[in-house]
Amino acid sequence: MDHDIADPALADLGRQRIAWADSHMPVLASIRERFAKERPLEGLAIGACLHITTETANLLRTLQAGGAEVHACASNPLSTQDDVASSLVRDEGIAVYAVKGEDTETYFRHIDAVLDARPKLTMDDGCDLVSRLHQKRPEQAAGEVLAGTEETTTGVIRLRAMEAGGALRFPIVAVNDADTKHMFDNRYGTGQSTLDGVIRATNVLLAGSRVVVAGYGYCGKGVASRARGMGAQVYVTEVNPLRALEASMDGFRVVPMEDAAPEGDIFITVTGNRDVLRKEHFEAMKDGAILANSGHFDIEIDLVGLAELAGGERRAVRPDVEEFLLGERRILVVAEGRLVNLSSAEGHPAAVMDMSFANQALAAEWVVRHSAELEKRVYDVPPEIDREIARLKLDTMGVDIDRLTPDQEEYLSSWTVGT
């Protein structure tokens, strides 16, 4: 079996860590058990471009249990857990092409290796696989692929642009948009793992520090609330008036970045857009300001602009932290401005990825079953799948809920009561 990984000797450690994550992913485990019996993905070649983590390993095992033949590459050059990649190759027989720290050329070579396996289903995180497939292999995209799924906000935005421009060549399920995905993964997963990444990389004290969170989508909400929970004074910057209003009424200080720049100790971008922190902001920042990004791509901090201001005065000061010298002031960038939660920590905890990847597995089953009826569009995860995942998750957490009485059901379906 073809593959490209850093070090096969890491497989034992990977296997142990995958099992640990599995013990926190009971919903996915129950789907795996059913998949092993029903084999809904029998013989299906899946090309997965995902962060190669312990949680992803358990998703790939689930797809394989369902009968799929899985080929996987990384969706970010820094997020691969090399021990996990090794175990997937040795213990699961999954073709993995991913090495932590791979350069851009290798990153795309690995995506090409997955596309060479001629997948019938794509499973993407950020849309690099699907975008490359459409741009470099339009005939393969149009003629061979049944459908795909997409994990993240940024990927869904790119796919909707493809759909609007008439470029999309097969149906895609927007897993990100399921309630049991973005309300939990994006908020509690990003919230916790982003701070985990900043803390592991810098060991900075959050209590009493001024944390500036750029973007108040679900990810920004999570980061802001967790930073506040650890005693930081949190500022939020936004371009969307509704979200700015929400942040303000959630009790955060909402300011333009221009005003936050001279005040902040730690800046965390989670907008999905480019150049959120740029020259005019770097010039106003305090000595020792820490910059980190938790958006999908490494474009939110203008690192070219920062390097220009530093004029070559830059050096590594800790693993994963680079210092740029602007005259007397030091600006510190974590993990090259790449996804800090996956580069400097382990990504979202398994218990939340349980729901995200349950959505992926069930969306894959659904899209294969319905592929003949689907158009070249971006689809939502069917609401019954979303509800089922919420129900299963509550069960595994030992949380029971009320049920409507017959009178209540009747009341809710009637429009004449009270007149």
Q: Which residues bind ligand ADE (CB under 6 A)?
A: 50-51, 53, 55-56, 189, 342, 347-348, 353
Which CB sits closer to ligand ADE, 292 or 310? 292
Which CB sits closer to ligand ADE, 171 or 189? 189
d(CA 322, CA 10): 28
Q: What minimum distance in Å lies between the beta carbon of 79 and ligand ADE?
A: 7
Q: What minimum distance in Å lies between the beta carbon of 109 and ligand ADE?
A: 21
Q: What minimum distance in Å lies between the beta carbon of 45 and ligand ADE?
A: 21
Q: What minimum distance in Å lies between the beta carbon of 164 and ligand ADE?
A: 26
Which CB sits closer to ligand ADE, 182 or 348? 348
Which CB sits closer to ligand ADE, 206 or 342? 342
Reference 267, options 239, 295, 297; nearest CA is 295
Which CB sits closer to ligand ADE, 157 or 307? 157
Q: What minimum distance in Å lies between the beta carbon of 95 and ligand ADE?
A: 18
Nearest to ligand ADE by Cβ — which residue? 347
Q: What minimum distance in Å lies between the beta carbon of 342 and ligand ADE?
A: 6
Q: What minimum distance in Å lies between the beta carbon of 346 and ligand ADE?
A: 6
Which CB sits closer to ligand ADE, 53 or 180? 53
Which CB sits closer to ligand ADE, 99 or 331? 99
Which CB sits closer to ligand ADE, 119 or 349? 349
Q: What minimum distance in Å lies between the beta carbon of 50 and ligand ADE?
A: 6
Q: 193: left (phi > 0), else alpha (psi -120 to 50), else beta?
A: alpha
